[in-house]
Structure 1
Amino acid sequence: MADDDQPDHENPSETDKHIKLDRAASALSNHRTQLYFDVAETCWPLIYCSEYNISFWGMEKVHPFDAGKWGRVYEFLKEAGMIRDDTTVRPREASADDLMIVHPKRYLDSLKWSITVAGITEVPPVALLPNFLVQRKVLRPFRYQTGGSILAGKLALERGWAVNIGGGFHHCSANHGGGFCAYADITLAIKFAFEYCGISKAMIIDLDAHQGNGHERDFMTDDRVYILDIYNRGIYPHDGYAKRGITRKVELQHFTEDSQYLELVRRHVEGALNEFTPDLVVYNAGTDILDGDPLGMLSISAQGIIERDQIVFQKVRTRSIPIMMVTSGGYQRSTARIIADSLLNLRAVDLISSEAAENAPLVDPGPLSSKALLKSRSDGEGWFSKLRRNCATSTRSSTQEDFDDPTELNEGAETGMPRAVSEDLGRRNRKDTEID
């Protein structure tokens, strides 16, 4: 077999598989997570925070993936008046204990080597960075998005639907990352829902242009999970071994167009739901099927993507099955607008709604107390706040836990201080404006 046709490690016996399942169940039963929490009814079940976005001195541009698309989707939805900051759910960062529900310590330890992360993200210069920077600038955004996917499962079961504006790392399995996917958020979301929400069956509808080999490897022997995967057979990852985990496989040719594609989506989503009745659907809604995508190599129009999402939501929601959506791949700048337009369309056709969020009054924070004002200034994002934090932490030890927020980082190196601080403060003082 070719390398991509090999299992992550040795091919396990049936006994080994059951032992692994028992160990996973035991780990979950002893685990307490902060990723599940109660969400106000006045919030849309839309999950996002600014920590999703990846930016490290332009190196992220080496990869064709738009590492800031999640923030632009969010801004488009705000501009359209659908959501506000106070009606959006902010997730928490997945901890090491959360991740170890799926990932062995051996895999997580491998991420402490920058060269490993460089291979996963396909950005070679990352290998040259100190790992504490890689943890903060690359892996921390992935951990926030993973936390968002896990929370989306809970919210979907409570509200009928949920959308994580990030996530969809479908190339990452328990033991192996790749394809810009460092954590197996889909696998984690389902396993958390099994344990904490009491579901017994789940379905993955993976409509990203690429085969979802990560979750396919993870659930290959788990008959509680049904996987429908419609993908371009001629592109990465060519994972023949993982294909054994697909319940309903639909392979596309290069440059498949709207009419053929949408007919296949209608037929096979319907067929999958007729064969299997899940308690939760995880919809991996990659937009790399867009015409012109350099990696997806399909020819689906923007309107075709919007119609695809409507088909999936309509067929799932008319059966009263909870659905969570993650946004996955999409390698053109226009995909952020398409994702936002698709969500706006789902709202317009009443496939997603939240009456309480729609009617939520504007929150007036009111005047800040002196103590709160000082706290807001110390946590501010202005140059002066950053300079204060940088000076305050400059004498601390650089030793820190792998998953801590490393405030010891030289913020000046990130933002161009202190010269930029000096110039900016000078301009602001001349204008007699407030610094923070």
Structure 2
Amino acid sequence: MPHTTQLYQHVPETRWPIVYSPRYNITFMGLEKLHPFDAGKWGKVISFLKEEKLLSDGMLVEAREASDEDLLVVHTRRYLNELKVEASTTAPVTGAGASAPTRTSHWPSREIAQPPTMAGTGDSSLFVNNIGSALLPQSEEQFLFERVEGISRATIVDLDAHQGNGHERDFMGDKRVYIMDVYNRHIYPGDRFAKQAIRRKVELEWGTEDDEYLDKVERNLQKALQEHLPDVVVYNAGTDILEGDRLGGLSISPQGIVKRDELVFRVVRGRQVPILMVTSGGYQKRTARIIADSILNLYSVGLIGSESPSLSAQNSDTPLLPPEVP
């Protein structure tokens, strides 16, 4: 029997397939300002899109919390219990929710897990594996592969600056899932074991710039889809490739990121394959504006939505879903 979950919900035609919750934006009593990651960037992305009249509150899909049973599809009970202890001890400092010290279901990560699950790694940088939650079976329980008719093959296109070792370990040996990973070879995590799961590996050098990067992404994406034509593509659209990002170590311009996202959508949609985009790493304050600009560009070139849902009650079948937590 497939896993029963409340994470799936019908998306009315009057809404964009964009899943968002204000709880994605984490505050630490002002201490978040000392960290390079913008913990409120997803709220800023939504604000920018509202300013540009692309959407309004009534056109968003509100994220739901993942239950323990949902998370157990990918994670062990012991791991979740450890996270609960972490949440209860850090909540008074991090502002994880007024009731978090006694009720730990308010982790932002629980709501983050919904978008990929609806649309179709636990390591030191990502608490809940939302890509894995969308695809991964455990025993006889399955999410996307079981819940959506016609989904039996998937491709993960991971363009975050870091190697995606969480989902690579999850799908080790799973022939249904093809992983393409483009990353800075010199930075964390350098997981040699996980690299065995990568079907198309593109390792970049420090300071790689737009032309080389975009050429490698396009050539390898075309080859990846030739080798394994999937029923769905999960696209990890990290912005930590941006020039000046000290953790990513690459030198891609804001325009290069917008071009990258358009390239990925154009190639994937050109093969009539649905695509699920999750935003990801990005450790500069300007990344929110770049993500918003990219979404606006995808709309302007006709790769998402033909008209605003408020005018035509018509959606794209392409979800644009924040976030994957860095």
Q: TM-score, normalised by structure 1?
A: 0.66
Following the alignment from structure 1 to structure 2, what is the Cα–Cα distance between the partners of residues 216 and 186?
10
Question: Which stretches in structure 2 are left out of the alignment for 5+ residues?
Answer: 137-142, 314-326
- Shift of the 134–70 alpha-carbon distance from structure 1 to 2, 3 Å rule, reads farther
Following the alignment from structure 2 to structure 1, what is the Cα–Cα distance between the partners of residues 38 and 214?
25
Structure-2 residue corresponding to 1:319: 271
Does residue 36 of structure 1 match 2:3? no
Letter in 2 for 1:196: R
| Conserved? CA contact 1:114–1:134, under 8 Å | no
1:133 offset after TM fit, Å?
Answer: 3.8
The structure whose Rg is larger is 1
1:356 offset after TM fit, Å?
Answer: 6.3
In the comparison of the two structures, how many residue pairs are matched?
303
Partner residue of 1:184 out of 101, 125, 129: 129
| Conserved? CA contact 2:87–2:101, under 8 Å | no
Following the alignment from structure 2 to structure 1, what is the Cα–Cα distance between the partners of residues 249 and 22?
30
1:32 offset after TM fit, Å?
Answer: 1.2
Larger relative contact order (CA 8 Å, sep ≥ 6): 2
Following the alignment from structure 1 to structure 2, what is the Cα–Cα distance between the partners of residues 248 and 30?
31
- Shift of the 117–316 alpha-carbon distance from structure 1 to 2, 3 Å rule, reads farther
Following the alignment from structure 1 to structure 2, what is the Cα–Cα distance between the partners of residues 46 and 350?
16
Letter in 1 for 2:243: D
Following the alignment from structure 1 to structure 2, what is the Cα–Cα distance between the partners of residues 278 and 260?
26
Letter in 2 for 1:106: R
| Conserved? CA contact 1:258–1:299, under 8 Å | yes
Partner residue of 1:296 out of 248, 253, 275: 248
Letter in 1 for 2:123: G
Does residue 146 of structure 1 match 2:113? yes
RMSD: 2.4
Question: Which stretches in structure 1 are left out of the alignment for 5+ residues?
Answer: 1-28, 119-124, 154-171, 362-436
Give secondary structure in 2 for the equivalent of 1:264: helix
- Greater helix proportion: 1
After superposition, residues 26-425 of structure 1 pair within 5 angstroms as: 29=1, 31-114=3-86, 132-133=100-101, 140-153=107-120, 172=121, 176-179=122-125, 181-191=126-136, 192-198=143-149, 199-355=151-307, 357-359=309-311
| Conserved? CA contact 2:155–2:179, under 8 Å | yes
1:294 offset after TM fit, Å?
Answer: 1.4
Following the alignment from structure 1 to structure 2, what is the Cα–Cα distance between the partners of residues 135 and 266?
46
Q: TM-score, normalised by structure 2?
A: 0.87
- Shift of the 143–310 alpha-carbon distance from structure 1 to 2, 3 Å rule, reads same
Give secondary structure in 2 for the equivalent of 1:326: strand
Letter in 2 for 1:271: K
1:52 offset after TM fit, Å?
Answer: 1.2
- Shift of the 183–320 alpha-carbon distance from structure 1 to 2, 3 Å rule, reads same
